[in-house]
Structure 1
Amino acid sequence: MTPKGDVREHALYGHAALSNVGRFMRIVKALLLLIWVRPLWAQGVERPFLEKVDLFRAGAEGYELYRIPGIVVSKKGTVLAYCEARKSAQGDWGPIDILMRRSTDGGQTWGERQTIVHVEGDLPVNAVAAAQNLDKFGDNTANNPAAIVDYETGDIHFLYCLEYMRCFYMKSSDEGATWTEPVEITQTFEVFRRQYDWKVIATGPGHGIQIQRQKKTKGRLVVPVWLSLGTGEHAHRPSVTATIYSDDHGQSWQAGSIAVPNTEEFVNPSEACIAENDFGLVLNVRTESSRNRRVVVSSIDGVTWSKPHFADELLEPICMAGMVSVGERTTGNLLEPKQFGPCRSYGSTGQRA
């Protein structure tokens, strides 16, 4: 193992965990390069306000499409963009690798793609997916990449799942150029079975964070995860959202708690994005409720969470989103890049903004 728009051309929008305005402004161009945009500049203007570069082009090099993007910026400023590379457009299950590209100049140029997760042979098939004819031997689904920048060690931590039932961890100490051999950390998720007998698990997607502003938990790595019984549609429903964390720079991982349960009000919470401000951590969660996004504020530690509530300011087409914190010291300046309009039907893609 090494460690919706035009179907023929697919660009990714970014997720970043940034700690100060200076770093944010230096790499904002890299973020914008990953957003699907239409030209916004007037004729005759020499330099466009937004530029677009296709980091991963659907239909090229054996992959029908790319989904589930993420982006982080290392302590030294290296931009890492990564995503699922899907060999078929059948949806979240099937033959999927995880690819990455790197930029060392703020997104002006990008290195060749790296295949950082590819599994040879036949992985055990997830039974709930097989029951719905979504998965078969040989597909080898690698899913839901999530990276974290460690500002204390300079390392980049990386988590992903296989067949939506096993979780792995690896890290890079050279700006994402090479990665350690993956270590399985699925046992971390077993603790959740006391509350929720999951059959499907997924990290992130997008990115986790390292706590930097809370004195008692400074340095802790926190990753949003979601769990599913897998009995519903696409073997992803019903579901709940939780977190896992590490206090030793990724050497070991612990289960947090279920942050958003599946209730009549909060229907099938799943993909989540996370950011930090002076008050603690904010977890922004996708659900299938008829109302808007959910926001959960932690009790500083990334483990225990307040009661979920609706964020009426945030529209929700039921899709993956992103969230970043802007400012070295801020009382709550959080930006949320996300999609407006239709999200997707499996096998097609939608515009993101």
Structure 2
Amino acid sequence: MRHILFYVTCLALLCGFLPCSSQAEGPSLEPTKVDLFEAGKDGYGTYRIPGIVVTKNGVVLAYCEARRNASTDWGQIDVMLRRSTDGGVTWSPMKKIIELEGKFERNPAAVAQKLGKEGEITVNNPIAIADPRPGVVHFLYCVEYNRLFYMRSEDDGLSFSKPIDLTAVVEKLRPSYDWQSLAVGPGHGIRLQNGRLLAAIWLSTGNGGHAHRPSVVSTVYSDDDGKTWQLGDIVANETKPLVNPNESILIELADGRVMINMRSESPEHRRAVSISPDGSTKWSTPKFNEQLLEPICMANIIRWPNAKEGSKTGIVFSNPHNLERANAKPGQGRDRKNLSLKLSYDEGETWPISKTLEAGSSAYSDLAVSADGSLLCFYERTKIDEATKKRTAFLTVARVSVAWMTDGKDK
């Protein structure tokens, strides 16, 4: 009888009918990390500005800026993409997905400040929006920080349509704000439950630092599946309480409203939040969230359905949780390190859970949820060779479990 029970038990374990101990489900499981892009490899000096989405078919798309000569925002920059069909375990070779056709001029604001080089054109700030229909991915990007484009994929990022120039949409703002530079995202955009495609955008008169300051924040949106786009209201201006608001992130709340979480150069060094009923109009007065430190760096946010407290799903926020820097003045950038993940169960009001993903040098990040419910964080980090002390910059994808994030309290 004992022999029969033994064989039945083994069969049940093999078929998955009985629970068995597994590191993948335990709270002790550390995130797995895969380096996707390495500075100095494949003809590019560095790779920056990561973005990641997961398509309806479960294909993971990781994209970034490939900067030919240096890490500066201005110069010869291309957009590269890698795909994973197994949830982020293995990846395709990188592929350049934007080929410029026609004549492109350098941004006059950058030329005036001697930024970039003659003959070099910047393709910047790529963002994708995953669609609920199989295979469909929307994609926005800028050229020379003064032209905005849209293209789409019908085959999970294997190919993209011919780009459509959307710059005229933003030109409508010029009578009230004479912008010279603009950038969408970066990171990812969102699709609301009502079908609206939505992305954050910042604009600048370009006569300040790096031709990116001063700046204001708005959104661009499409209510017809990307065929036409509109510019939303200004969310935050360039004056106090926010100083130079710029790279911002969006999330749809449980009640259908849209929350924008903004980076700025304000002396408070906290992320600023505003809420709109539709993601384009009637934005609330921005307020600082005391728990979300602002070292002046891109951040990101996403809903994580697998993280639950009762009937409430969790929202995850990522950025370098650090305000340390020698001799720094209020409003100056802090050291980009200690990339952390925070978890909220009350729609971003409070953030009771915080875990360090990368204690060392780490900066921009984007978030997605894989088909199996794991959290994917695509981020910038620098690794130091202990023997040579050489520093090398990478773009890395970390795979995170709910159990690790919550120390086993939520599985």
Contact 2:305 2:313 (C-alpha < 8 Å) held by counterparts: no
Q: Following the alignment from structure 2 to structure 1, what is the Cα–Cα distance between the partners of residues 132 and 34?
A: 28
Partner of 1:287: 264
Q: Following the alignment from structure 2 to structure 1, what is the Cα–Cα distance between the partners of residues 247 and 297?
A: 8
Q: How far is 1:243 from its partner?
A: 0.2
**3-state SS of paired residue (2:149):** strand
Counterpart amino acid of 2:199?
V
1:223 to 190, 199, 203: 199
Contact 1:266 1:289 (C-alpha < 8 Å) held by counterparts: yes
Number of matched residues? Answer: 300
Q: Following the alignment from structure 1 to structure 2, what is the Cα–Cα distance between the partners of residues 185 and 121?
A: 15
Partner of 1:104: 85
Matched, 1:299 2:280: no
Q: How far is 1:304 from its partner?
A: 3.3
Change (3 A) 1:127 1:241: same
2:213 to 237, 240, 245: 237
Q: How far is 1:248 from its partner?
A: 0.7
1:351 to 353, 358, 362: 362
Q: How far is 1:90 from its partner?
A: 4.7
Q: How far is 1:275 from its partner?
A: 0.9
RMSD (CA atoms): 2.3
Unpaired segments of 5 or more residues in structure 1? 1-40, 213-217
Superposed counterparts of 1:64-79, under 5 Å: 64-79=45-60
Q: How far is 1:343 from its partner?
A: 4.7
Counterpart amino acid of 2:259?
V
Contact 2:74 2:122 (C-alpha < 8 Å) held by counterparts: yes
Of Structure 1 and Structure 2, the greater strand share is in 2
Superposed counterparts of 1:148-227, under 5 Å: 148-152=129-133, 154-212=135-193, 218-227=194-203
Q: Following the alignment from structure 2 to structure 1, what is the Cα–Cα distance between the partners of residues 305 and 29?
A: 26
1:311 to 273, 281, 289: 289
Normalised to the residue count of structure 2, the TM-score between the two structures is: 0.69
Q: Which runs of 4+ in 1 moved over 6 A?
A: none
Q: Following the alignment from structure 1 to structure 2, what is the Cα–Cα distance between the partners of residues 108 and 168?
A: 31
Contact 2:138 2:151 (C-alpha < 8 Å) held by counterparts: yes
Q: Following the alignment from structure 2 to structure 1, what is the Cα–Cα distance between the partners of residues 36 and 102?
A: 28
Change (3 A) 1:331 1:196: farther
**3-state SS of paired residue (1:266):** coil
Q: Following the alignment from structure 1 to structure 2, what is the Cα–Cα distance between the partners of residues 192 and 84?
A: 27
Counterpart amino acid of 2:65?
E
Change (3 A) 1:332 1:307: farther
Partner of 2:66: 85
Counterpart amino acid of 2:267?
S
Q: Following the alignment from structure 2 to structure 1, what is the Cα–Cα distance between the partners of residues 33 and 242?
A: 36
Q: Deviations over 1:205-247 (max 9, x none)?
A: 00110001xxxxx000001000001001100000011001001
Contact 1:219 1:247 (C-alpha < 8 Å) held by counterparts: yes
Counterpart amino acid of 2:277?
S
**3-state SS of paired residue (1:135):** coil
Normalised to the residue count of structure 1, the TM-score between the two structures is: 0.80
